[in-house]
Structure 1
Amino acid sequence: MVNPKEQKSRKIAIWVIGLMVIVWTVLGVLSFVETENRKRPHTVNITFAGQNALTGKQVFQAYNCMDCHTIVGNGAYFAPDLTKIYEQTGPAWLLAYLGSPGAYPTEAVVNIQLNELIKNGEASVKGIGNLDDYYSEYPKAKERVDERGGVDALMPNLKFSKDEIDGLVAFLKYTSEINTAGWPPEVFAKQTVIDEAKKHLEAKSGLPVKTAVATASGDAGGDATAPSGEEVANAMGCMACHSTDGSVKIGPSWKKLYGEPVALSDGSSVTVDDEYLKNSILKPNDQIVKGFQPGLMPSYDGIVSEQDMDAIIEYIKSIK
């Protein structure tokens, strides 16, 4: 004969277990239902300059970017988390950096990339008319330019093609649209603590700290001493892609370049003179040197003055 108390306890246990199963089932179903807040954007629907985020993700994986970076905390912790980098810096800064990641972009290069996007009617910069508007929309871009512009970076020059760069920007645009529930976490610390940590990391990296860089010759007024060609080249971001010691970065080295014949990608050759250098600065895709990627160097037409261009050319002549 079954004990009434035991029978009652069994019924209660069955009801409790049944209720728990129902709750677990409902929660399990809800975990697979995408609400508007949790909905993840589709990679093929996020595009930039004709490339979609899926293509960019494939580039991201092919170059093993997560060996150094993280996305939503997944990956290695040798380099910054990239989840919200597009939201912070915007497309112009990313284009400027990814084109020559061995050095942080200067303001001139970011401005050139922005002007190209505006001229091409890129939807991602709709409503942005100039660099001030861009900085207002993406204040972290200005912060990076002010703190690091022209300074060497630890990231290697991977020599991305233009399509690969556009794809990466599309992918980083996609990751910025993911609801990450607060990731990456915001750092709460006194400014003195942040400054000390920054100094420590800068010293440990072995990289130079940014110093004042000359800008275009007309910026400081007519009585100011004109900057040297080297100063102009640094301000314009030229040294992020061109070396002076014969090593190959993104573009040809400037060492012993002037007066020498160079082979072009179309099979012809040209002797490097003033005319060739000016054309390369203003119309960089007209004559691509053999072995180098087209479409990476932006046009400086309307950005660099004749005086600054002449100064750069004289500097190139001096590099023996």
Structure 2
Amino acid sequence: MNKRQTRLFAIGSTLVASLVFIGLTIDSHRQFPKLTNAENITPAVTRGNDVWHANNCINCHTLFGEGAYYAPDLTKITQLRGAPYLKAFLQDPERFYDEQRHRRLMPNPDLKDEEIDDLIAFFDWVANVDNQGWPPRPILVTGSSIPGTSLTIAQQDASGPGRTQEQMPPGARPVTGDEDPIALGEALFRTASPACNACHSIAPGVNMAGPTLADLVTRAQQTIASPEYQGEAETVEDFIRESIVAPSAYLHPGDMYSAGGVSFMPTSYGESLTDEQIDQLVQYLASFK
């Protein structure tokens, strides 16, 4: 091309690129109300946003991948933790960990109950924004499953590229309807909403938002035999099922697991899971001898 053709090509390419950019920008702004659930921005959400900024929470935490990365990303926190847990945590964070042991430095923000409610409303609005998968690698609660898969991070690494199903560890293999109930229960443990392993570990002594499930059978037997137990379960399986569908029937010792006689565990599993799925989950959990 000669100089004139080159100049025209550059000008034309710039105009086309500019028009495309402007078109995409307009289309993005057109979709913002729907993607962000703008109709759900209530006065409580707005006040919660003010609480978030007034306390400089972003200096430690992140939303949508933006923030300090010193503390966990809170974009989907209300999908992992219920409102009762979040409220109790924000009222007194020190109840939930030993600072000398865990080296966590979450300060007590000294928020009023109304401010906490507003902040939780803000978190809930954020959690329901369609962020189209961003950030691509969110900070996950320890042991929780990778979005869009039934694998934990460790299982994904174990599966590795190029491995056949037979070469994968049992926990990393895709679960099909032909699997036994315990295998199906294990998949539900990772993929139910919210995921059970977002709050519970299966490692001995590793307590997260909920108590560890290691030695669950032994502890369930001891609980049922205890005079303090006021539930209706007579067997380990009944106790596990009761804990899933009516978590406040028995409150695990420890202020970090309940408040005011109400468990922090979500009460939605009885509605979101079928009876068959609950049976599968019970069989899986009943294998923790």
TM-score (norm 1): 0.41
Rg comparison, structure with higher value:
1
Q: TM-score, normalised by structure 2?
A: 0.45
By relative contact order (CA 8 Å, sep 6+), the higher-ranking structure is: 1
